[in-house]
Each structure stands twice: as C-alpha cells, then as structure tokens.
Structure 1
Amino acid sequence: MIKHPSWPPLTELPKNTITPAEYSYEQLKRSDIELLCELIKSWYPDISVGSGKKYIDPKFYGTKVYFPGEETKDVIVYIGRHAEEIVCALCLEVDRDALTLHSRYGVCAPQHRGTGATLFAAYIVDALAQPMGIAMAYSYVTMKSKAMQQFTERAGFEPVGILRFSDVELDERGETQHVTEAVYAKYFKEIETLQSVSEANMTPKLKRLWDVLYA
C-alpha cells in the first residue's frame, strides 16, 4: 500500500538543492491552464498530433489533473517560473496499485534549455519515491534529442527498451509521421524484494535481451 494517500505538498519534501535558485517550481493552478497550453504549443508545435495533443488541450487538465485543495487524482503537473514567467512544466502520473511513477511529459522554453531549469524533474521523482512508496519510475524519451537522453541518464534512469511507432508527431515538413522512442526506468526498491525471474520461462530472444539489460 502506498504510504501517502495523496501527492505530498512540495513543502513536505526534502529541500531542492539541485535546481538553480533563479527558478522556482509550484503545483499547477487552474488559473494557469490556458496559458500553459498555449506555451507548450509554441515550444513544441510538433506535438499537436498524436498522444501529445492532449497536453495542449485545457480539458485534459480540467478533468485529469490534481489541483491543490481538490480531490486527489493520479496525475499532477508542476510548473517552473523565472522572473514570474512560466518557463517549464512537468507532468507525472502515479499508479497506486503498482507503486510506479510515469513521467508523462517534461517541457521547457527554448531560451531556458541547458540552464539547469529542468533539473527539478530529477529532484521531484526522487523526492516523491519514498513518501509515496514508489518502486519504479519510467519515461518515454524521444530518439530525436540526444540531449534529452543524456539528461534522463544523468538523473539515474537507464534505457530498458526502444519502441518504434510508439507515437506520431509532425515532421519538419508539417506532415504526420510515426516516431521512435526509448524507454527509460529508475528503480527505488532493493532487488531482494523483487520476485525472481526464471530463465526457463524465457524464449531465446527474450533471454538475449535480458542478458543485455540485466546480466
């Protein structure tokens, strides 16, 4: 059972010492929904199709996202500010039965990329893991951005798979095209608590993959 019945407030989590002081993060408020959707659309126009299009639709936030003082939901959004302006956002989803966290998306204004503004993402996943009893966090990372892969790996995530045709986006010509994404995971429980896997239950192909990932 999850130790915490809801998303713990930022004020109850360990101090964030890795995000540069000029950036502040807070939980998304309903009053910021419309603006956030417009900002994401301007920062990442290629997600106007596929699974990403929900993140520029105010209805998604209005019905699926947990807001302070309201009934708990499984999705939460944090926004980062610089000089009062929204410059970053991170969306997480918890599976309370499986004790896992899914990083749905992380976005940042172009002029603030590479500044350390998005280090909050690495902080918050680790900070939430203990109070919420999280065993594993995972994320899908685009194969178009080596920098995003490097950031995810620096945060302690390991690549565990590659999925072709996992989503669709707009290409440089404005045409809809399927894309390839890497799957990254980070574990928070001791391996001794994991149910063992029998090699006898693996096909040869799966055994080869297992050896590459976990030998």
Structure 2
Amino acid sequence: MADALRTWYPDVVVGAESYHLDEEYYHRSVQLLETEEERDTLALVLRHAEGIVGLVMLTKDERSRTVTSRMGALAPDHRRGAVGLLGIMLFDAAAKKLGASVVYTFVTLKSKHQQLIYERFGFQLVGIMPAWDIDMIEPNRPKRVFEAIYAKVLAPKSEWHIPQRDTMTARTRALWDFLFTPDDLQAMDTSQSR
C-alpha cells in the first residue's frame, strides 16, 4: 500500500498523512477485518480488476458523532469520469451509516477541482486553517500549507444550537455572517433528505 500511495499522492511523504506509509500504523490504529477490538480509524479500500486503486481513511468520534476524512488517494488512471467522485461518495455514505451528525475534512487549496467536488456534494466551506499541514511544494522542499475546511451537517436542525450574537466578538460575528446566511443555514439542514 505504501508504494502505491507514494505514486498516487507524492505529498504523502511529509505532513499529517505521512503515517499512512507505515505498515504498523494500520495494524495498530485502523479497523481491519481481523481486528477484534473496535477502532476509530477506518480504511475504505477501492478495488478494480488490477487490484487496489484507491484508499479513503476516515476517523469517527463516537462522543461528538463526527466523522472526518483523514486522507483520500486514487490511482491517476482512475481519476477521470465518475470514478474520481467515488471517494467522496464513500465518505458521505459511510458517515451516514456510522450515525455521524457532522462530517468534515481538510481540502487542499492547490486544486480548485477538489474544492468544487466537495461543494457539489453539499459540503460547505467553513474556514481556512492557516499553515495546518506540510506539503511537498517542490521536490525536497516541504512547506506549511493552508487548507480549506469543509463540513456537512447531517443532524436535523432541531438538534442545532445557534449561538447568540452578543456572545461573539465583532470579528467572529462578521465571519459568522459571511459563512452562515439564513439561506445557508436552511440549505445545511439535510434532515429532510435523509
């Protein structure tokens, strides 16, 4: 798997995703078929006739009922057409199956395409994390990168608590108003389509 990941996703050698290159990580932290105890990290493996062609890693938090996509990688030959959307479709379906109330992920700002895919699947941009991860910008030149945070609320609106405006600083209120117009909040209520 490590060799395939290096080919599919060259940035995996540095930063938060680099532990996916360590075989022991899967045996220690990931829910595998032969694992007796339940673990919080799940690997969704995408297979095709020639073998494994993709991997989506999810982490669930039972207490907050959230699921995070930690990493997704797909063999370049399988990125065109609808197959390239399979990872996000699996992420979305798995989160619902796991009973998540909210799903979220960090998305690279190096690819408009990745951002558009998440937006097309109903995820909303909720922020940008400054210098959050490390990517290989050029060969042998890792740098800290900013990443977009996308989220989708699966919990019905009746479970939400909208904060009072007087509990927010002026800057927080301005960001709230930018991110969450009344129409955006209405669109985020996916409970009608569950």
Number of matched pairs: 180
Matched, 1:65 2:30: yes
Tell me, which stretches of 5 or more residues in structure 2 are unaligned?
182-194
The 2-side partners of 1:109 and 1:82 are apart by 11
Looking at structure 2, the residues matched to 128 and 79 of structure 1 have their Cα atoms a distance apart, in angstroms, of: 12
**How far is the alpha carbon of 1:170 from its aligned partner?**
1.3
Within a 5 Å distance, the mapping from 1:2-81 to structure 2 comes to: 36-70=1-35, 71-81=37-47
Asked if the contact 1:77/1:92 (under 8 Å) is kept, the reply is yes
CA contact (8 A) 2:104 2:150 kept: yes
Please point out which of 53, 57, 60 is paired with 1:91.
57
How well do the aligned residues superpose, as a CA RMSD in angstroms?
1.5
Change (3 A) 1:163 1:206: same
Aligned to 1:133: 99
Q: Look up the match of 1:179.
A: 145
SS of the equivalent of 1:195 reads coil
Structure 1 counterpart of 2:132: 166
The structure where helix makes up a greater share of residues is 2
How far apart are the structure 2 equivalents of 1:121 and 1:151?
Answer: 10
- 4+ residue segments displaced more than 6 Å: none
Relative CO higher for 1 or 2, CA cutoff 8 Å, sep ≥ 6?
Answer: 1
Q: Which position in structure 2 is the counterpart of 1:148? A: 114
Identity of aligned residues (%): 33
State the 1:174 CA deviation.
2.1
